[in-house]
Structure 1
Amino acid sequence: MNNQKITPCLWVDEDAKAVAEYYLSIFKDGKLKDYRKLENPPNEFSSEPSSFETAVMELEGVEFSILAAGPFFKFNEAISLVINCKDQDEVDYYWEALTSNGGEEGACGWCKDKYGLSWQVVPVEYFELIHSDDAAVREKAMTNTFKQKKLILSELK
């Protein structure tokens, strides 16, 4: 039973199971919790029967629903997921995993995966730098953030 009050739902064109397996290949602490293929009876929108798929996966303790119901909606930057990384090695791992195979790099630690979902890959120490009591530390971190695609912690310090 999931105790999570709010579950993000990711709408994709097709193949909910393949989408779940893609994310599960990146996030090692995860599992596929459910997969279903469902039939829509003919209705006011279509006289032909159609199908759609759902999957439920858990990544790093967070449950996500996946709805594969056609190309009606696309991801955009209005919503993104932040990965809080313990160190630069973890930043490098997630950045490479998400931007390879059809993903793309953005600026300031942002990238998109092959489905177009936006991620911000951030070392947790970054937040300490940009919230530092020392104005020079804050300024250097922010100035260098705008010069980077993938965040390089050593250059932000």
Structure 2
Amino acid sequence: MSKISPCLWFGGEAEEAANFYVSLLPDSRIEKVQRNPVDSRSGKAGTVLVVEFTLAGQRFMALNGGMRFEYTHAVSFKIDCADQAEVDRLWDALTANGGQAEGCGWLRDRFGVYWQIVPTALPKYLGGADGAGAQRAMQALLGMVKIDIEGLRRAYEGA
């Protein structure tokens, strides 16, 4: 078990968010739900205080802090995707119900958490041996919202 795990702060939707996130990726599960023992700023006695969960093998904690703080781009979670189908599935799920698409594979989910949905092929095109192709792929990427692997390939190859 890792000694470090991210803690996500929520105003009151920690359990909903954790359940949503674990539904998206293999090797994910809710580990423990801890409830408030007494009334406090984080909620009434018996309401969810902390959810410990594993997301794609990484431990996380979701905390209902009682008030909502906004997340920023300064911290985001990158998901490596094997193919376009996985990019599309995760993109659609995370932008649904109030999530917001950004650019270059970034999005903000309905809970305000930032994600990068990145195909594993991206470094092949941005760091390939063909310098001009890599420049074309980077220019293509900069014009994308959700990353399109085929579009990157075409740009890299000059097609």
Within 1, Cα distance between the matches of 2:96 and 2:44? 33
Which is strand-richer, 1 or 2?
Answer: 1
Given residue 150 of structure 1, which amino acid in structure 2 is its aligned partner?
Answer: K
Is 1:95–2:91 an aligned residue pair?
Answer: yes
Corresponding residue number in structure 1 for 2:28: 30
Report the aligned-residue RMSD.
Answer: 1.8
User: Any idea what SS the aligned residue of 2:69 has?
Assistant: coil
Given candidates 55, 65, 71, the residue that maps to 1:69 is 65
Equivalent residues in 2 for 1:1-157 (5 A)?
3-39=1-37, 53-157=49-153
Given residue 53 of structure 2, which amino acid in structure 1 is its aligned partner?
Answer: M
Within 2, Cα distance between the matches of 1:8 and 1:72? 17
Alpha-carbon distance, 1:79 to partner:
0.6
Deviations 1:93-140 (A, max 9, x none): 110010011111001111111111111101101012111121122111
Question: Which range is displaced more, 140-149 or 20-29?
Answer: 20-29
Alpha-carbon distance, 1:50 to partner:
5.3
- Unaligned residue ranges in structure 2 (runs of 5+): 154-159
Query: How high is the TM-score relative to the length of structure 1?
Result: 0.88
Deviations 1:73-101 (A, max 9, x none): 22111110111000111101110010011
- Unaligned residue ranges in structure 1 (runs of 5+): none
